[in-house]
């Protein structure tokens, strides 16, 4: 006996022992290949269509098919699509699965839900599906071979194994005969793909109440119409210095369309015009008691002033009444109905207040907008007879009386009834516009647009004319230097040789050879 004979007898399992001998993960090639080729078919799927079945049937081998799929296949081929053995439609056994409250298959006796590890059997004579545990305990051990639901007698050979967790070879889709041979036609594959595209394909196993609700929804549902608004593209005048933000929104939100180009935001036409209003407006109101000359703060309060001037232009105020006159307070008009409840702005809806802190109801003759609350300005206005500080910040001041104070005093003395209505009508007969700054601003906008268009056309015209003048240069040869005229090149080179002192040509002076004065001879002269 050698030394250390029990050295390898560990009191624990080593990694190698657990890996190779005692179970665990077998990380070898055979295991990986086996896992790669095994693709489990779910219990509730047809072995032929590989889709959830509606009318399950099986043969003696316990492989489940859908009735509509297998009958057509057997008529054409006459063999089992999984094993390739001969098979007839008369051999098919209709299966009856029980379901729990959640719609999952279960045993009708033990009420246990079927899983991938459940041992499931079916009785051939009735087609009822049970768990193997229920059959063993209530039939085989008691020798009571009768169906647990219908009490129909059966034999031991009538017990068909639907699923055995220890033998799952028949659920391997890769080993099915029709999968190996690819017996499906292109038309069948196309039909299955169309079925899967329909959402109803995946909700076939719902209860009746849900089906009725979906059917009612399909009958009554009206898809919302998507209104595509034309995209506004700004020009030189109304382009903002910031973008529309659609590119960022399309990149970060799935509810927005994808936009790959940033565009400048388009300013509202009113914003463009109001920015070019440089002076105040002047209007004369002609009443049956005289005239009132008004100065309007068009630059500071543009919306209210434009609304008033436009109504004066289009005759909206003509022959209307000042329906409310309160002595030592104000006179109110601008309502065509004469009731104090009418009136409309030029935009067809109420516009917001334009409260300017420097303008106050601090004198006689202040022109202000009448409203029924915050941001409810329409067409009614009033002129004060004295300072009214309590109205500051509540009403938009957009002008004041600069002429016709005697007319204002005369109107103030008109007698009224208990509802502050004048007994003798005070009429707004007509209006004269002396200065309309908004018309001038619109003219300036049109002028700027015209200048921008003319400039663009001039640039495009110049570029097109220059393109038409350009001609392709003449070629004198091929290869490098094909555009050089040899005659011009010769003349230029000769001329350059005469003028350029740094030019070295073929006529450069030769180097002088020094001649020696000594002659080689003999010694006869000595």
Catalytic site residue from 188, 244, 329, 442: 329
Residue recorded with tokens 């390739």:
84
329 among known catalytic residues: yes
Pairwise CA distance, residues 28 & 242, whole Å: 63
Catalytic site residue from 65, 176, 382, 438: 382
Catalytic site residue from 51, 177, 188, 371: 371
Distances (CA, A) of 157 to 144, 231, 451: 14, 76, 100
371 among known catalytic residues: yes
Structure tokens at 73: 């296949």
Q: What is the DSSP string of 324-391?
A: EEETTTEEEE--TTSSSS----TTSS-B-----TT--S-STTEEEE--SSTT-B-S-EEEESS--GGG
Q: Which helix (H) or strand (E) holds 457?
A: helix 437-469
Q: What is the DSSP string of 75-126?
A: HHT-B-TTT--B--GGG-EE-B-EE-TTS-EE-TTT-PBP-TT--EEEETTT
Residue recorded with tokens 């334009």:
354
Catalytic site residue from 45, 289, 324, 361: 324
Question: Do 58 and 122 form a contact (C-beta atoms < 8 A)?
Answer: yes
The size of the chain, in residues, is 526
Pairwise CA distance, residues 12 & 302, whole Å: 92
Catalytic site residue from 69, 307, 332, 377: 332
114 among known catalytic residues: no
Question: Do 483 and 473 form a contact (C-beta atoms < 8 A)?
Answer: yes
DSSP structural state of residue 465: H
Question: Do 325 and 420 form a contact (C-beta atoms < 8 A)?
Answer: yes
Distances (CA, A) of 155 to 6, 97, 126, 139: 57, 20, 12, 10
400 among known catalytic residues: no
| Sign (positive or negative) of CA dihedral 382, 388, 389, 391 | negative
Question: Do 132 and 120 form a contact (C-beta atoms < 8 A)?
Answer: yes
Question: Do 131 and 107 form a contact (C-beta atoms < 8 A)?
Answer: yes
176 among known catalytic residues: no
Catalytic site residue from 289, 361, 395, 400: 395
Q: At what angle do helices 437-469 and 302-313 cross, to 10 degrees?
A: 100
Question: Do 162 and 121 form a contact (C-beta atoms < 8 A)?
Answer: yes
Distances (CA, A) of 165 to 51, 170, 388: 21, 11, 94
Structure tokens at 158: 């009538």
Structure tokens at 413: 């003395």
Give the residue numbers annotated as catalytic, written as ranges.
Answer: 324, 329, 332, 371, 382, 391, 395
């Amino acid at each position: 006996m050698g030394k250390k004979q029990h050295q390898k007898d560990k009191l624990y399992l080593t990694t190698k022992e657990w890996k190779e001998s005692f179970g665990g993960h077998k990380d070898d090639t055979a295991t990986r290949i086996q896992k790669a080729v095994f693709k489990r078919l779910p219990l509730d799927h047809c072995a032929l269509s590989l889709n959830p079945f509606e009318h399950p049937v099986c043969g003696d081998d316990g492989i489940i098919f859908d009735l509509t799929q297998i009958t057509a296949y057997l008529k054409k081929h006459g063999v089992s699509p999984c094993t390739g053995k001969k098979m007839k439609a008369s051999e098919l056994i209709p299966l009856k699965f029980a379901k729990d409250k959640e719609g999952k298959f279960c045993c009708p006796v033990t009420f246990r839900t079927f899983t991938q590890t459940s041992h499931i059997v079916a009785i051939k004579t009735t087609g009822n599906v049970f768990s193997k545990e229920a059959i063993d305990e209530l039939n085989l051990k008691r020798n009571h071979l009768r169906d647990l639901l219908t009490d129909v007698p059966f034999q031991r050979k009538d017990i068909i194994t639907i699923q055995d967790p220890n033998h799952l070879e028949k659920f391997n889709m890769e080993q099915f005969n029709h999968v190996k041979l690819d017996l499906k036609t292109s038309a069948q594959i196309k039909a299955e793909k169309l079925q899967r595209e329909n959402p109803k394909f995946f909700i076939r196993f719902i209860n009746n109440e849900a089906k009725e609700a979906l059917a009612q929804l399909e009958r009554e549902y009206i898809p919302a119409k998507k209104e595509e608004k034309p995209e506004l593209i700004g020009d030189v005048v109304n382009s903002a210095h910031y973008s529309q933000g659609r590119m960022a929104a399309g990149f970060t939100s799935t509810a927005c369309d994808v936009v790959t180009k940033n565009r400048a935001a388009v300013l509202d036409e009113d914003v463009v015009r109001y920015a070019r209003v440089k002076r105040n407006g002047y209007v004369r109101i002609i009443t049956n008691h005289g005239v009132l000359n008004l100065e309007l703060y068009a630059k500071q309060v543009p919306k209210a002033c434009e609304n008033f001037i436009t109504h004066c232009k289009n005759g909206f105020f003509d022959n209307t009444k000042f329906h409310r006159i309160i002595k030592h307070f104000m006179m109110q008009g601008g309502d065509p109905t004469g009731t104090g409840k009418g009136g409309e702005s030029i935009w067809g809806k109420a516009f917001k207040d334009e409260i300017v802190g420097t303008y106050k109801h601090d004198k006689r003759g202040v022109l202000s907008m009448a409203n029924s609350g915050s941001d409810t300005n329409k067409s009614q206005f009033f002129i004060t007879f004295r300072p009214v500080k309590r109205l500051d910040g509540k009403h938009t001041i957009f002008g004041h009386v600069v002429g016709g104070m005697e007319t204002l005093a005369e109107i103030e003395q008109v007698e009224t009834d208990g509802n502050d209505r004048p007994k003798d009508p005070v009429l707004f007969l007509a209006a004269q516009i002396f200065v309309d700054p908004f018309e001038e601003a619109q003219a300036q906008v049109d002028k700027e647009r015209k200048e921008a268009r003319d400039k663009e056309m001039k640039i495009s015209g110049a570029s097109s004319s220059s393109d038409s003048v350009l001609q392709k240069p003449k070629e004198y040869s091929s290869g490098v230097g094909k555009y050089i005229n040899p005659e011009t090149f010769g003349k230029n080179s000769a001329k350059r040789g005469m003028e350029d002192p740094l030019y070295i040509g073929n006529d450069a002076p030769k180097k002088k050879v020094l001649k020696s004065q000594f002659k080689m001879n003999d010694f006869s002269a000595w």
